[in-house]
Amino acid sequence: MGFFSLAFLASWRFRIVLIFLEVPRYILTRVGGSFPRRSVLIETIQRAGRQAFSLIEHAFDAAFGPRINPLYHLGALSFFFFWVAAASGIYVYVFFETSIDGAYRSVEYLTHTQWYVGGVARSLHRYASDAMVISVLLHLAREFVLDRYRGVRWYAWLTGVILLWFLYASGIGGYWLVWDRLAQYIAVVTTEWFDWLPIFAEPIARNFLNSTSVNDRFFSLLVFMHIGFPLFLLLGMWIHILRISRAKTNPPRLIMIGTSLALTALSLVYPALSQGPADLDTLVSRVQPDWFYLAMYPLIDLWSPGAVWAIAGGGTLLLMLLPWLPRRREEPAAVVDLANCNGCGRCFADCPYSAVILQPRRDGLPFESQAVVEPDLCTACGICVGACPTATPFRRVSDLVPGIDMPSLTTRDMRSHILTATAALAGTDRIMVFGCRTGPDLASLREPGIATLALPCLAALPPSFIDFVISRRHADGVLFAGCIAGDCYQRLGVEWTEQRLAGQRDPYLRGRVPRERLATAWAGPAGATTLVREIAAFRARLRAMGPYRRGSTPSPAAPPSHPPEDHDVSYRLG
């Protein structure tokens, strides 16, 4: 339970931040009449960004397949790079000497004398840190263009933006420790940058005027900071994922192996090198900065420290404000109906956003717990409804209120929509297509023989609906058209759907539902052509199968040669 209390502590803290962030919006509302609901500029950038990303993603999909496409695991990859940097950093630290003379010498020893371990560790430390900058920035850009930063997801966005500062502080601090010409450059420019702020009584740059002003104790402080910032970064990364359940902090194993091999190969071929010892009595004229961390540094000299503060500070503030420019209103949150909830906990287990929790029962019924929805965390994905055992279309319509339901598309609405949409279908290749908000567009499927229903997420469909459609012969087959398999908009929808269909996760799709009458097309928003192709192939298969007959797929217990006429003998009781 400690996890939850900490989650609440974090949300309480950030609600204060939120109040401050609401101020400009409030003012704009007062001054400018109504605050715009949409921003054309942001939507244009997002559209362009989505196209750019989908180009690269398709290339990676073709190369690796969607399930181990690193672009779908950027957050988890960032965690992985952190751990690589941490492990290699600990090794380097063992041999590092915290003194002016020792620092450079000890790093040189690692790189040249102990190149086979120490040198590799140093290079891994650098390249993993660089890779982390890339994965973090891509992660940020991708969540932005996919519109996964507003609404309920503001928390992860805001904490993530703050983490950028910790990431840069960690990286830049590391360069300083090597105490080579680049470190000297960083020391001078960083202090110059900070001296611009009116926080130090006397300029700290004075410390780096000549070689006598820097002492060994200063290196102890630097080491302390280079351990402290990454620790804060890690703490922040943990806070960053607090509000989602089952956060993926490890990329798929194949990605980890591939990335480790690539980093190691890079370390051996292009080992990280120092750029000559620092000498404060001479001025650094030429350095080769690490552009991943030091892209802004030349600007401090070129323009002015104030300009760079304005860019960095203003940029951060703008990024922090983005979720409210404008803010997204989620659909109404899930609603619990206690008369239909016995506290079984399946919705709690499946919610990707920790928006459903179990609390002690309060209505006097002898159950231990009840589901409670935290509306501030709910994205209205409906995955909880898909998990609820009472959300089944076989119930009598008058009573069809499940333990948890979505006001925007109730279980009763789903049922009546399916009945209406399938009523007009004819033939032996009638299909019911279920789609999701971020899957292929269903509007283009205006063909006879196809009925469609768009859901907020495919995992919002309780599996007994599939049984209902097929066993009641409302359609001959059911097709799921969803997100790209490795990249579910609602985080866990694809995974849960596949596991439920396979009978590996509650609620199971009934074993006796013939699986050949079921098809999935994880095609993503750009997959309209794939979908049309899949549908044509699926319908051809259905035509070949003929109409659905009960017992046409014998359960594993029954011999395959079982005559269909006797299908019901094997399970009748009495």
| Closer by beta carbon to other proteins, 366 or else 563 | 366
Residue 231's SS3 state is helix
Determine if 303 is a binding residue for other proteins (CB under 8 A): no
> Considering only residues 50, 67, 395, 541, which one is a binding residue for other proteins as defined by CB under 8 A?
395
Tell me, residue by residue from 59 to 78, as one string, x for binding to other proteins by CB under 8 A and - for no binding.
--------------------
For the record, the structure tokens of 356 come out as 């459903």
The residue within the footprint of other proteins, chosen from 32, 33, 198, 366 (CB under 8 A), is 366
Q: Which of residues 515-554 bind other proteins (CB under 8 A)?
A: 550
* Cα–Cα distance measured from residue 229 to residue 236, given in angstroms and rounded to the nearest whole number: 10
Dihedral angle, C-alpha 436, 142, 154, 250, nearest 10 °: 90
Contact with other proteins (CB under 8 A): which of 390, 490, 520, 553?
390
How far apart are alpha carbons 160 and 140 in whole angstroms? 8
Q: Which of residues 548-567 bind other proteins (CB under 8 A)?
A: 550, 555
Q: Choose between 396 and 446: whose C-beta lies nearer to other proteins.
A: 396
Written as six digits, the tokens of 150 are 């507003």
Torsions phi, psi for 452 (to 5 deg): -130, 155
Residue closer to other proteins, measured from CB, 13 or 549: 549
Angle between helices 154-178 and 305-321 in degrees, nearest 10: 150
Q: Contacting other proteins (CB under 8 A), which of 471, 499, 530, 552? A: 471
Q: Which of 374, 467, 476, 534 binds other proteins (CB under 8 A)?
A: 467
Q: How far is the CB of 171 from other proteins (least distance, A)?
A: 44
- Single out the segment in contact with other proteins by CB under 8 A; choices: 134-142, 149-157, 343-351, 448-456: 343-351
Does 344 bind other proteins (CB under 8 A)? Our answer is yes
Q: Which of 44, 244, 40 is nearest to 145 (CA)?
A: 44
Taking CB under 8 A as the rule, does residue 362 contact other proteins? Answer: no
In this chain, which of 89, 323, 352, 403 binds other proteins, going by CB under 8 A? 403
Chain mean position to CA 79: 12
**E strand intervals along 259-351:** 335-336
Of residues 426 and 573, the one with the C-beta less far from other proteins: 573
Asked if residue 289 lies in contact with residue 182, where contact means CB atoms within 8 angstroms, the answer is yes
The tokens describing 90, both together, are: 């600990």
Nearer Cβ to other proteins (328/395): 395
CB of residue 331 vs other proteins: minimum separation in angstroms? 25
Please say which residue, 395 or 417, places its beta carbon nearer to other proteins. Answer: 395
Identify which of residues 242 and 344 has a Cβ nearer to other proteins in the complex.
344
Contact 390, 318 (CB under 8 A): no
Other CB atoms within 10 A of residue 146 CB: 16
Does 2 sit near other proteins (CB under 8 A)? no
Stretch 485-514: interaction string toward other proteins, x if CB under 8 A: ------------------x--xxx-xxx--
Q: 453 forms bridges with which residues in the sheet?
A: 434
Measured CA to CA in angstroms, residue 558 lies from 221, 457, 548, 549, 562 at distances of 74, 36, 19, 16, 7
Contact residue for other proteins among 365, 424, 443, 502 (CB under 8 A): 365
The dihedral formed by the CA atoms of 493, 380, 13 and 155, expressed in degrees to the nearest 10: 50
Q: Residue 342 interacts with other proteins (CB under 8 A)?
A: yes
Q: Does 350 bind other proteins (CB under 8 A)?
A: no
Interaction of residue 275 with other proteins, rule CB under 8 A: no
Interface residue with other proteins among 112, 332, 394, 564 (CB under 8 A) is 394
CB of residue 401 to other proteins, shortest distance in Å: 10
- What's the CA gap between 88 and 84, in Å, rounded? 6
Enter the DSSP assignment of 516: G
Comparison of 29 and 504: residue with beta carbon closer to other proteins: 504
CB atoms inside a 10 Å sphere around CB 570: 13
CA separation for the pair 98, 339 (Å, rounded): 67
What is the nearest approach in angstroms of other proteins to the Cβ of residue 444?
35
DSSP H helix total and E strand total for the chain: 18, 8
Q: Of the two residues 102 and 345, which places its CB atom closer to other proteins in the complex?
A: 345
Binder of other proteins out of 245, 354, 379, 392 (CB under 8 A): 392
How far is residue 110's CA from residue 68's CA, in Å, rounded to a whole number? Answer: 35
- Which residues sit at the interface with other proteins, rule CB under 8 A? 340, 342-346, 365-368, 389-390, 392, 394-397, 399, 403, 464, 467, 471-472, 503, 506-508, 510-512, 550, 555, 568, 571-574
